[in-house]
Amino acid sequence: MSLHDFTQVLAKTPFHDRLALHSQTQDWTGWNGYQTPRVLDTVASEYFAVRSSCSVMDLTPMEKYLITGPDACAFLNRLVTRDVSKLKPKRVTYAVWCNDEGKVIDDGTIFHLEKGVYRLCAQHHQLDWLMLSSIGFDVTIEKDTHKVAALSVQGPTSFSVLTAAGIEGLEKLKPFGIIHTKIGKIPVTVSRTGFTGDLGYELWGTPKDAHGIWDAIFTVKEHGLFDIRVIGLDTLEMVRIEAGFIMPGFDFNTAETTIRADHDRSPYELGLDWIVKFDKPYFTGKRALIKESKRPQKRCLVKLIAEGNKVPTSAFLFDGKNGNKIGTVMAQTWSPILKSSLAMADIDYNDGKPPVEIWAEIYYQKELKWHVKWAKCHLQNAPFWSHPRRSKTPPNPV
């Protein structure tokens, strides 16, 4: 579609034709202005593709920025809370960035593609913030979301599938590593990254090669070697909660879009203390975060397991059954692999400590009749799901 096109609300990614072919439901939604499948077949079949075979997801709508120039590293180090100077070439790291008040603007991943050449992947549109932040740095920032066709290939057989599809060198690729390689004859960059908490890879090519990359992967399925399924956003939501990944704009309100005071969140309030580093040069928000680190924590986005089998959808949380309100569930799912009800919840801390007891008031319906149930919730520190195969190198061929 041309930029002048006003007849279609959502733009199509380079994989659109293939997605449409695979979609039995034609159930689409918008993601950063692109038409994206919500569900293509059923959530159950797509979910188990991630957890027990191989899933493919179109990552193109993810915001991407190419950052180059002599100050690229210094600029990124000023932008994000963690120390980017330690990120070696061909490595990837997760990061968040804040405004001057130390409130999180967005999160994403930084790819050190080649020495001095970085790609920042973000949830939301960031060009304005990156440009504002770049004042004084000799750096070039290019939004290249449209110029990169990206696929996420995840699941226990993803290594075997991609190897069968002709990608060489995967056996040596460690988690958060990058290789520039080929799939068949098509040049492609592969990173061992993902949003599922499982073994998985992300493939980065050019839009003109999109069909070639896609077809190389699905030829493996046609040969009957492995089951490979395309997944949509509904499945991604389940597996990312299981993996304990947060979603800015969904689990919390991003700083740039916050209108009401106190509706934004700091990295501490998101449980991201581990990527706030004060032993590095000044970064945006540092002063506010130093101050905050010395105060008792007011609240936190936490992981909860709710007892029973009812999912605490947007539930209010209390410090006891029928107690005082202490928070809200921001995201939730039933976990088929854990047979548990999982939630990401924004809860108030008391004197810097999480509440002793957390109860969810869950509304659910059966045959259109609404019921309410109380479920005790348990705080979880580690991700709900993380399989050893995620980090084993070389991965076991399946």
Residues of this chain that interact with other proteins (CB under 8 A) are 3-7, 9-11, 30, 33, 100-101, 124-129, 131, 143, 256-261
31 DSSP β-pair partners: 34
Whether the CB-CB separation of 377 and 359 falls below 8 Å is answered with: yes
Least distance from other proteins to the Cβ atom of residue 8, Å: 8
Least distance from other proteins to the Cβ atom of residue 131, Å: 6
Interhelix angle for 43-52 vs 233-243, to 10°?
Answer: 50
Least distance from other proteins to the Cβ atom of residue 32, Å: 9
Whether the CB-CB separation of 196 and 383 falls below 8 Å is answered with: no
Whether the CB-CB separation of 56 and 19 falls below 8 Å is answered with: no
Q: Which is nearer to other proteins, 288 or 337 (by Cβ)? A: 288
CA dihedral 376, 377, 378, 380 (to 10 degrees): 170
Least distance from other proteins to the Cβ atom of residue 289, Å: 16
Least distance from other proteins to the Cβ atom of residue 129, Å: 7
* Secondary structure percentages of the chain, helix, strand, coil, to 5: 25, 35, 40
Q: Which is nearer to other proteins, 7 or 24 (by Cβ)? A: 7
Q: Which is nearer to other proteins, 101 or 227 (by Cβ)? A: 101
Q: Which is nearer to other proteins, 2 or 381 (by Cβ)? A: 2
Site of tokens 């501490």: 268
Q: Which amino acid is residue 270, in one-letter code?
A: L
Q: Which is nearer to other proteins, 206 or 258 (by Cβ)? A: 258
Least distance from other proteins to the Cβ atom of residue 99, Å: 10
341 DSSP β-pair partners: 306, 334
Q: Which is nearer to other proteins, 9 or 135 (by Cβ)? A: 9
**What sections of the chain are H helices per DSSP?**
16-22, 43-52, 72-79, 127-133, 158-164, 210-222, 233-243, 286-293
Return d(Cα 272, Cα 13) in angstroms, integer: 32
Token code pair at residue 315: 């539930």
Radius of gyration of the chain measured on its C-alpha atoms: 21
Return d(Cα 6, Cα 16) in angstroms, integer: 19
Whether the CB-CB separation of 350 and 361 falls below 8 Å is answered with: no
Whether the CB-CB separation of 15 and 210 falls below 8 Å is answered with: yes
Least distance from other proteins to the Cβ atom of residue 25, Å: 22
Distances (CA, A) of 368 to 123, 372, 374, 385: 36, 13, 19, 33
Least distance from other proteins to the Cβ atom of residue 116, Å: 23
Q: Which is nearer to other proteins, 101 or 215 (by Cβ)? A: 101
Q: Which is nearer to other proteins, 55 or 99 (by Cβ)? A: 99
